[in-house]
Amino acid sequence: MAQSKTILVLNGPNLNLLGQREPVVYGSGTLSDVEKLCSDYASDAGYEIDFRQSNSEGELVTWLHEAENGAVGVAFNAGAYTHTSIALHDAVKAISTPVVELHISNVHAREEFRHKSIMASACIGQICGFGTSSYTLALQALIGHIK
């Protein structure tokens, strides 16, 4: 693995609509606000953030593969792909870079189909339900795991 101090923060489908999509569930902060939150937190801890969002499953898979040689960890909000994507599960499992699954909402208190994460068994842990603070909690968990 590269001697990087970079943490990859991946965001899946519809997260580009944060701030306008279901603010009662996801809050009023935008994805740009989340990026700044992550960047500030990581910087204070001595790390850099590579922050990305895609609505494309294949692009997320490619970015996970790239993490193997360019990141010390991945904080991953896969959105709805969490519950449907065997490809993302397999991509996480294929890399040695630690991945923390995260969600803004408490997926276990929502619709039944959101209760099952296909990716969870491939990740080192899961954080959900703390709003956008789930991102900094995921970073904290990754940094603790890395050290």
Beta strands 48-53 and 6-11 are: parallel
Within-domain flag for 125: yes
pLDDT tens sequence across 32-63: 999 999 999 999 999 999 999 999 999 999 99
Q: What pLDDT sits at residue 108?
A: 72
Within-domain flag for 1: no
Q: What pLDDT sits at residue 85?
A: 96
Q: What pLDDT sits at residue 115?
A: 74
* pTM (predicted TM-score): 0.91
What residue type is 139 in one-letter code?
L
DSSP for 5-63, please give it: -EEEEEE-TTGGGTTTS-HHHH-S--HHHHHHHHHHHHHHTT-EEEEEE-S-HHHHHHH
**CATH code, 107:** 3.40.50.9100
* Number of domains forming the structure of the chain: 1
| CA–CA distance, 12 with 105 (Å, rounded to integer) | 14
Q: Which residue ranges of the chain lie beneath pLDDT 70?
A: 1-3, 22-27, 109, 113
| Backbone φ, ψ for residue 128 (5° rounding) | -155, 155
Q: What pLDDT sits at residue 67?
A: 97
Within-domain flag for 131: yes
Catalytic residues: 26, 103
Domain that holds residue 19: 6-146
Within-domain flag for 70: yes
